[in-house]
């Protein structure tokens, strides 16, 4: 397994991971864990798709799914087995209206929460995307032309991986503890890299809080590539 330089991590899910004794062990650097609890995911995970069962919502949910599958070269069977939509909403903004979709992806023990958005209407007064019609609902083909336009469209990346490099979050954390040569790493967070679509796990700990020294370790659950870096525990002004 080789080290990599950086990962882009978004929409993180907290995973409970055990910490080892905080004494120096086998020449490893002593670290301190400050465990944190995130309860916002409980609310997110209880959402539903198209709660009003409107025809327009279901139409754009179908379009989003087709665009998502095409972008990532995935099948409907893979989607049904690994993805659950947890929320949909139409969102008005300065240039038009977007359709937002939030969903949970599950592979083995790993869970990640993410939200996409696609444009469904552009205002007549907008100068954005001049090739598209104004004040009318956009078609799937028209929406597809906006892929890559950050302001209007965000459709997550996802690989078709069905087997992870580690049997559990705890095993991945233990791997990073060894690579970082520390006694503890805590607050493991699982996400999907929005650029590569790989499963990621990140955790960290304090090396010396008085000296503002902390450590962050990340590993791709898809490839096994990892990175370890010393960071600031807090920013000073």
Q: pLDDT for 158-174, tens place per residue?
A: 999 999 999 999 999 99
Question: Within this chain, do residues 58 and 138 fall inside the same structural domain, yes or no?
Answer: yes
Phi, psi (rounded to 5 degrees) for 204:
-165, 180
The label of the residue with tokens 């995911």 reads 41
Furthest-apart CA atoms within the chain: distance in Å: 67
Q: How many domains does the chain have?
A: 2
Under a CB-based contact definition with an 8 Å cutoff, are residues 31 and 23 in contact?
Answer: no
Question: Within this chain, do residues 171 and 221 fall inside the same structural domain, yes or no?
Answer: yes
* Mean predicted confidence (pLDDT) in 147-159: 89
* Mean predicted confidence (pLDDT) in 32-46: 65
Please tell me the least confidently modeled range out of 17-21, 72-76, 131-135, 216-220. 17-21
Between CA 57 and CA 109 the distance in angstroms is 31
Between CA 188 and CA 178 the distance in angstroms is 15
* Mean predicted confidence (pLDDT) in 40-59: 82
Domain annotation covers residue 152: no
Please provide the average confidence, as pLDDT, over all residues in the chain: 87
Question: Within this chain, do residues 131 and 48 fall inside the same structural domain, yes or no?
Answer: yes
**Letter string b/e over residues 75-103, b meaning 16 or more CB atoms within 10 A of that residue's CB:** eeeebeebbebbbbeeeeeebbebbbbbb
Domain annotation covers residue 155: no
* Mean predicted confidence (pLDDT) in 41-49: 69
Domain annotation covers residue 181: yes
Residue 50 vs residues 81, 85, 114: alpha-carbon distances, Å: 20, 9, 17
Instruction: Please check the confidence at residue 225 and state whether its pLDDT lies above 90.
Output: yes
Between CA 78 and CA 233 the distance in angstroms is 40
In this predicted structure, what is the pLDDT of residue 64? 98
Question: Within this chain, do residues 73 and 111 fall inside the same structural domain, yes or no?
Answer: yes
Domain annotation covers residue 210: yes
Question: Within this chain, do residues 70 and 139 fall inside the same structural domain, yes or no?
Answer: yes
In this predicted structure, what is the pLDDT of residue 47? 83
Q: How far apart are the first and last CA of the chain?
A: 38
How sure is the predictor about 135, in pLDDT bands with cuts at 50, 70 and 90? very high
Residue 162 vs residues 23, 29, 126: alpha-carbon distances, Å: 37, 35, 42
Domain annotation covers residue 149: no
Under a CB-based contact definition with an 8 Å cutoff, are residues 144 and 155 in contact?
Answer: no
Alpha helices in the chain (DSSP H): 40-45, 55-72, 76-82, 140-144, 169-180
Domain annotation covers residue 8: no
Residue range of the domain that includes 120: 43-144
Question: Within this chain, do residues 139 and 78 fall inside the same structural domain, yes or no?
Answer: yes
Between CA 33 and CA 235 the distance in angstroms is 19
Question: Within this chain, do residues 22 and 60 fall inside the same structural domain, yes or no?
Answer: no
Domain annotation covers residue 128: yes
Last residue of one domain, picked from the residues 144, 177, 202: 144
In this predicted structure, what is the pLDDT of residue 31? 93
Instruction: Let me know if 5 is exposed, middle or buried by CB neighbors in 10 A (0-12, 13-18, 19+).
Output: exposed
* Mean predicted confidence (pLDDT) in 141-150: 90
Q: Greater confidence, 40 or 128?
A: 128
- Which CATH number fits the domain that encloses residue 219? 3.10.450
Question: Within this chain, do residues 110 and 83 fall inside the same structural domain, yes or no?
Answer: yes
Question: Within this chain, do residues 115 and 177 fall inside the same structural domain, yes or no?
Answer: no
Under a CB-based contact definition with an 8 Å cutoff, are residues 13 and 114 in contact?
Answer: no
Question: Within this chain, do residues 167 and 215 fall inside the same structural domain, yes or no?
Answer: yes
Question: Within this chain, do residues 47 and 35 fall inside the same structural domain, yes or no?
Answer: no
Question: Within this chain, do residues 136 and 51 fall inside the same structural domain, yes or no?
Answer: yes
Domain annotation covers residue 153: no
């Amino acid at each position: 397994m080789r080290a990599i330089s950086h990962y882009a991590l978004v929409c993180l899910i907290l995973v409970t991971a055990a910490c080892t004794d905080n004494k120096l062990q086998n020449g490893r650097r002593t670290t301190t864990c400050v465990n944190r609890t995130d309860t916002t995911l409980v609310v997110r995970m209880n959402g539903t798709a198209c709660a009003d069962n409107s025809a327009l919502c279901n139409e754009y949910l179908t379009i989003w799914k087709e665009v998502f599958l095409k972008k990532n070269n995935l099948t409907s069977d893979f989607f049904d087995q690994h993805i659950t939509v947890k929320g949909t909403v139409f969102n008005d903004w300065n240039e038009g209206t977007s359709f937002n979709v939030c969903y949970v992806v599950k592979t083995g023990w790993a869970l990640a929460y993410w939200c996409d958005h696609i444009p469904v209407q552009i205002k007549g007064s907008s100068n954005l995307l001049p090739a598209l019609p104004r004040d009318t609902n956009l078609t799937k083909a028209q929406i597809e032309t906006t892929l890559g336009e950050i302001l209007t469209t965000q459709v997550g990346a996802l690989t078709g991986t069905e087997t992870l490099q580690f049997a559990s979050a705890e095993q991945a954390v233990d791997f990073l503890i060894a690579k970082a040569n520390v006694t503890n790493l805590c607050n493991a967070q699982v996400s999907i890299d929005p650029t590569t679509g790989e499963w990621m796990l990140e955790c960290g700990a304090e090396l010396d809080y008085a000296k503002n020294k902390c450590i962050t370790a990340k590993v791709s659950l898809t490839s096994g590539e990892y990175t370890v870096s010393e960071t600031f525990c807090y920013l000073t002004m």
